[in-house]
Amino acid sequence: MINDNPVLLPLNKEKTIYGGFITVQERDFRVRITLPPDRKITGGRLHCCWQLKHLLRGYEQTVKQVKTQTHSSVRQVKTQTHSSVRQVKTQTHSSVRQVKTQTHSSVRLLFIDTAFQTLQLNAEDSSGRQHLLTVKLKPKHPAEAPDCSADLPLPLLINWTPQTTLDQLYGQFLLVLESLTRFWDVLDEIDRNTWILEPEKPCRSDTMRRIAIGNNVSIKVEVDPRHPEMLPDCCLLGAEHVVTPLRNKLNTNMHLWNPESDVLHNLQDVLEIEFPSPASHEKSSFSTECGICYSYRLEDSIPDQVCNDPRCGQPFHQACLYEWLRGLPSSRQSFSVIFGDCPYCSKVGVSVSRSGFPLISPEEAGCFPIVPNNARILYVLQPITVKMAPQKS
């Protein structure tokens, strides 16, 4: 029935209350029709705001003609309502039609609350991905712009005027989806052909992927939604003796990046590696447990602190390592950085900060640190004296 009568939606199981939106003089208005228990139009009531009543003033007789019809079909309500609105020279469309709920349309209304204030619309981009747009109408609609939200990597900016219809708003959302299609294509290809360590369950707003390279070695890439084909921000994670050669290759081969090629192949060419794929490797090969808590995932984090000793190479959660070293009387602390021995091999000095970023150099502390490869180490420079040449008079 809804497909045949997109002007109205039933609001109760008895189907005696129907509601929807109509657009009169390029403005959206809520309407509600209540029917008696026998669901006959005779005795039904049309409820609307005072602004719509003002626009329909002088056409009360036309509206009454709808009520005098003895047909119980909701199709008659739609036909007569359209007829009365056409007489006042307005273009009447329901919000359900505006968001194209008809089965032949590419847009569907997934949810609408009984107060007609929150709508959820489904859309499909050119690559077949499904997206959800939530629209919350404000009390002064349409004078106030509605709140629109979606799972996007960029803020959803909607141009709104009191004359903007829901259909026009939805059209703007489709344009935003189309502008991000290439960005999602890049990430989908990475997700299909590599083992993703983080995030565990990527959503459409995520721009980061932590890709497994080997045992306790990975790379974080941050893809720019506006320029997805360009070289992303890269951060190599793992033991220093493994990460250093990869970092050197990245710096040396950066000029080989080809924006016309896909990101995954570019990364493999620049790093001179092949990423392990789900077709050839098990994910358990890259999911080494923390050497302290013996679990892989701790809330939203995975082990990212790795012992630099090639004979050890044990990973730890940053939080676990920090708390472990803080509890040892032999550990030393400088600012927010704690220095101590590796909890696993007890042979290599390690350091970790509460935030994961050590603040002083390990050489100053006299030990070798276990820190993530993206740690920002602040080295103390020796002061130098600069002699200024005498100025000519």
**Comparing C-alpha atoms, which of 355, 344, 336 is closest to residue 315?**
344
Same domain, 228 and 175: no
Question: Could you say which DSSP state residue 286 is in?
Answer: G
User: According to the model, what pLDDT value does residue 292 have?
Assistant: 80
- pTM of this prediction? 0.59
Q: Who's near 206: CB < 8 A, 6+ residues apart?
A: 153, 187, 199
Upstream peptide bond of 142 is cis (omega within 30 degrees of 0) = yes
Total domains, the chain? 3
Same domain, 202 and 275: yes
User: According to the model, what pLDDT value does residue 115 have?
Assistant: 82
Same domain, 265 and 221: yes
Beta bridge partners of 19: 9, 32
**Which residue segment(s) compose the domain that 21 sits in?**
1-67
User: According to the model, what pLDDT value does residue 183 have?
Assistant: 96
pLDDT tens across 308-327, in order?
Answer: 777 777 788 888 888 888 77
User: According to the model, what pLDDT value does residue 380 have?
Assistant: 31
The 10 Å Cβ neighbour count of residue 166 is 24
Of 185, 210, 236, the position where a domain reaches its end is 185
Task: Identify whether 292 is part of a domain.
Answer: no
Task: Identify whether 242 is part of a domain.
Answer: yes
The 10 Å Cβ neighbour count of residue 272 is 13
Give the whole-angstrom CA distance, residue 198 versus residue 206: 10
| Cβ-count burial 74-93 (b if 16+ within 10 Å, e if not) | beebbebbeebbeeeebebb
Q: Who's near 228: CB < 8 A, 6+ residues apart?
A: 182, 183, 185, 186, 263
Task: Identify whether 80 is part of a domain.
Answer: no
Task: Identify whether 340 is part of a domain.
Answer: no
CATH of the domain at 154: 3.10.110.10
Task: Identify whether 303 is part of a domain.
Answer: no
Tens place of pLDDT for every residue, the chain, 393 residues? 344 445 567 888 888 888 887 777 777 778 888 888 888 777 778 788 877 777 777 666 665 664 554 344 445 544 554 554 454 333 334 444 443 443 334 457 888 888 888 999 999 999 999 999 999 999 888 899 999 999 999 999 999 999 998 888 999 999 999 999 999 999 999 999 999 988 888 999 999 999 989 877 889 999 999 999 999 999 888 777 888 899 999 999 999 999 999 999 999 999 999 999 888 777 666 667 888 887 777 777 778 777 777 777 778 888 888 888 877 777 777 777 777 778 877 765 555 655 543 333 333 333 333 333 333 333 233 333 333 344 444
Task: Identify whether 39 is part of a domain.
Answer: yes
CATH of the domain at 227: 3.10.110.20
Of 185, 219, 253, the position where a domain reaches its end is 185
Of 185, 216, 239, the position where a domain reaches its end is 185
Same domain, 207 and 181: no
Same domain, 111 and 50: no
Give the whole-angstrom CA distance, residue 30 versus residue 48: 6
Same domain, 61 and 135: no
Same domain, 109 and 167: yes
Same domain, 217 and 249: yes
Task: Identify whether 217 is part of a domain.
Answer: yes
Task: Identify whether 339 is part of a domain.
Answer: no
Same domain, 234 and 262: yes
Same domain, 155 and 172: yes
User: According to the model, what pLDDT value does residue 61 have?
Assistant: 64
pLDDT tens across 270-313, in order?
Answer: 999 999 988 877 766 666 788 888 777 777 777 877 777 777 77
User: According to the model, what pLDDT value does residue 102 have?
Assistant: 32
Same domain, 162 and 205: no
For the chain, how far is it from start to end, CA to CA, in angstroms?
A: 96
Give the whole-angstrom CA distance, residue 337 versus residue 351: 7
User: According to the model, what pLDDT value does residue 370 have?
Assistant: 35
Same domain, 252 and 279: yes
User: According to the model, what pLDDT value does residue 245 have?
Assistant: 92
